[in-house]
Every structure is written in C-alpha cells, then in structure tokens.
Amino acid sequence: MTTRTYTIGELCAEFAVTPRTLRFYEYKELLAPVREGQRRRFTQRDRARLKLILRGKRFGFSLDELKDLLDLYNADATQVTQLSATLEAARRHHAELTAKRDELILALADLEVQMGLVRRMFDERSGASAATPEPPPPAATPSRTPLPGGPDAQL
C-alpha cells in the first residue's frame, strides 16, 4: 500500500500559501518533503505539520517556537512532553493576545471620543452639521458580545 503524498502545488492550493513559503519552511526544517530529483513530494506528516504551523502563526507563535514544539513529537511515546510544552506556550500567547485585545478596545474607545470632539469642532466652525457623515458605531467587544445561545443555552 502506498502512502498518500502531495505536490507543492496541491499543498499551496489547499492552504493558500505560495511555493516560496513551503520552500522556506523546508529550509527552516519545519517540513521535510521527499526529494525526487528537483521535485518535492510532501507526506501526510508534512501536511499535518503545515496545518499546525499556519495555525500557530495565526496565534502569534514564532517559527522557532513552532519548530521546538513540533520537534518534541518524538520525545516520548505519549507525546506528554510536547503536549505540556504546547499548553504552556498557548497559555503565554493567550495572555499576550488578551492584552493586545484589551489595548485595542481602549484605543478604539479613545479614538471614538476624539472623533466626536473633532466632529463637534468641525460642526461649530463649518455650520454644516448635516453634511458630515455620522461616526461609526462603537465597536462591539468580545466581553459584551453574547455567544450564540447565551449562557443559559441547553447543551
């Protein structure tokens, strides 16, 4: 039985990345495709690693950090070492993303206040309040946006 492999074009299409990206990940030793002359054949393992790399990048992990975590896969048979390290890194990134979100919420609120002040100044000086567009509504924050079904939803 042959193991499914993927061409560089297939993975690029599936994950919306460029061939250059895959070659770079290969260079950084994140992926290890089988070489057939000049052609690369990516294994199921490479595909799974690419999926994890792209998810990790979205969460703010560096490529070095991702490599360290992926390389722990074979550290022990149960992957407890990898899972523990991944959980710790995820907690750290979660805290960083939460702090950034909170900073953005404050910056948006301040910007909306400043926009209101500028609008009032403009209206006073131009005498044409009807001609100026309304400011955008305040941004919804994750803490104020209800989840589908709400907290009392039945499971």
The domain locations on the chain are 1-59, 75-127
Helix (H) or strand (E) holding 119: helix 80-126
Task: Specify the residue for token string 């360290």.
Answer: 68
pLDDT in tens, 85-132: 999 999 999 999 999 999 999 999 999 999 999 999 999 999 865 555
* Distance linking the first and last C-alpha atoms of the chain: 43
Diameter of the chain measured on Cα atoms: 79
**Strand, helix or coil at 35?**
strand
CATH class of domain segment(s) 1-59: mainly alpha
Q: Is the pTM of this model over 0.85?
A: no
Res. 152: pLDDT tops 60: no
Phi, psi for residue 58 in degrees, rounded to 5: -60, -30
pLDDT value of residue 141: 53
